Amino acid sequence: MITQSDLSPPQPVTWCKGCGNFGILAALRKALVGMDTPQHKYVLVSGIGCSGKVPHYINLNSFHTLHGRPIPVATGIKMARPDLKVIVHTGDGDCLGEGLGHFVHAARRNVDIAVFIHNNGVNGLTKGQFSPTAPRGYVSGTSPPPPGAPMEPVNPVALALISGATYVARGFAGHQASLVRLMQDAITHRGFAVVDILQPCVTWNRVLTWSFYNGHIFDIGEDGHDPSDHSAALRLATAGGDRIPVGLFYRSDAPTLADGLSLPESGALADHVNDLGLLQQVLRDMQLE
Ligand SMILES: Cc1ncc(C[n+]2csc(CCOP(=O)(O)OP(=O)(O)O)c2C)c(N)n1
Ligand code: SF4
Ligand SMILES: [Mg+2]
C-alpha cells in the first residue's frame, strides 16, 4: 500500500558514512512498504540523538521530542488516538539513560507501541561518551582508562523481559531481512514491543564495530528457541559469553494499558472540540494572560 517513494523525505541524511542508522532506516522503510496499513495511520516519535533524526529522513507523521521522552509522548498519542500505529525510535542513551523510568513503566503497563532502540553503546550525537549499554571497561572521553566504564551495562532485552514487555527481540542493523521481519512483527503486535537493534557507530565506537558483530551474533530461531517460554528467553538474554543472540526472544498476549482504562463520559480525547474560552479562563485564573 505504501511505496518507497511515498516515504522519501525532503531533507538530506546527515549521518556519518557507514553508520548503522542507515541499515535501521532502510529496514523501517522496507517494513512499512511490506505492510497493509496506510501511511497516514503511522506516527513516528523520537528523542534526541543521531537516532532521533529518523523522523526527518522518512515521510511519516512524526514528533521529534525531548531527550529521554519519546515513550511518554508516544503513550499519550496512543491513548488519544488508539487507531494509530505508534513507533518510537530512540537511542540507547535516550531510552536507557534519561528515559529509563519511562521504558520500565511503559513495559509494565503494556502500552501498545513499538520501540526500536538504536543501540550503539555511545551517546553518538554528543561526541561518543559511554552510554548505559557500553561494556564494562569501555574507554571514552567520559570513561578514561583505567578502568574505562566502571560498571556493567544495561541489558535492554533482559530489562524489557522482566519489566513486562510482551514482544521482545534483538536485531542487527546489518541483517536486513531479519530486522525487517522483527520490525513488522513489533508494529503489528498488540502491546509493548521492543526491538533492541545493534547499531555500529563508526565514528566513536571502535569496539562494537561491524566486524565485531558479524563475528559474534547468532540467530536464536535457528537454535530452536521457543519464544513463548519467558524463563528460556531470560536465560538466553543473560547467558553472557562471546556469542550474541539475535532474533525473537519472547512474545505473549496480555491486556494493554488501554484495555484497563474506561473512556471518560466525555468520550475519547481526540474527539473533543477545543474550547478556547475555557483555556483563556484558565490562563486568566493563573494570571498568565
Ligand atoms: C534533557 C536533555 N539532556 C541531555 C541532552 C544532551 N544530549 C543530546 S543527545 C544525547 C545523547 C544521545 O545518545 P543516544 O540517545 O544514545 O543517541 P545516539 O546519538 O547515540 O543515537 C544527550 C545526552 C539533551 N539534549 N537534553
Ligand atoms: S556519530 Fe555515530 S551514531 Fe551518529 S551518525 Fe555518526 S556514526 Fe552514526
Ligand atoms: Mg547511542
Residue range 235-250: mean pLDDT, rounded? 96
CB of residue 46 inside a 6 A radius of ligand 2 = no
CATH topology assigned to domain 5-254: Rossmann fold (3.40.50)
Q: What tens digit of pLDDT does each residue of 96-125 get? A: 999 999 999 999 999 999 999 999 999 999
Written as one letter, the residue type at 153 is P
pLDDT at 289 (0 to 100): 64
Which residue's CA is the nearest one to ligand 2's atom 2? Answer: 201
Strand partners for 221: none
Q: Where are the domains of the chain?
A: 5-254
pTM for this predicted structure: 0.94
CB of residue 93 inside a 6 A radius of ligand 1 = yes
CB of residue 120 inside a 6 A radius of ligand 1 = yes
Ligand of minimum distance to the alpha carbon of 121: 3
CA of 68 to the centre of ligand 1 (A): 8
Q: Would you call 165 helix, strand, or coil by DSSP?
A: coil
Range list of H helices, the chain: 21-33, 70-80, 92-93, 100-109, 156-163, 176-188, 210-216, 230-237, 276-285
CA of 91 to the centre of ligand 2 (A): 11
CB of residue 120 inside a 6 A radius of ligand 2 = yes
Neighbours of ion ligand 3 (CB under 5 A): 91-93, 120, 124, 131
Choose which residue among 46, 94, 202 to substitute to test ligand 1 binding: the one with the highest number of ligand atoms within 8 A of its C-beta: 94
Q: Residue 213: pLDDT above 80?
A: yes
Q: What tens digit of pLDDT does each residue of 4-59 get? A: 999 998 899 999 999 999 999 999 999 999 999 999 999 999 999 999 999 999 99
Please, are residues 113 and 86 in contact by the beta-carbon 8 Å criterion?
yes
Q: In whole angstroms, what is the distance from residue 179 CA to residue 31 CA? A: 9
pLDDT at 267 (0 to 100): 73
Q: Residue 84: pLDDT above 80?
A: yes
Choose which residue among 90, 125, 207 to substitute to test ligand 2 binding: the one with the highest number of ligand atoms within 8 A of its C-beta: 125
Residue range 240-246: mean pLDDT, rounded? 95
Confidence of residue 272 (pLDDT cuts 50, 70, 90): confident
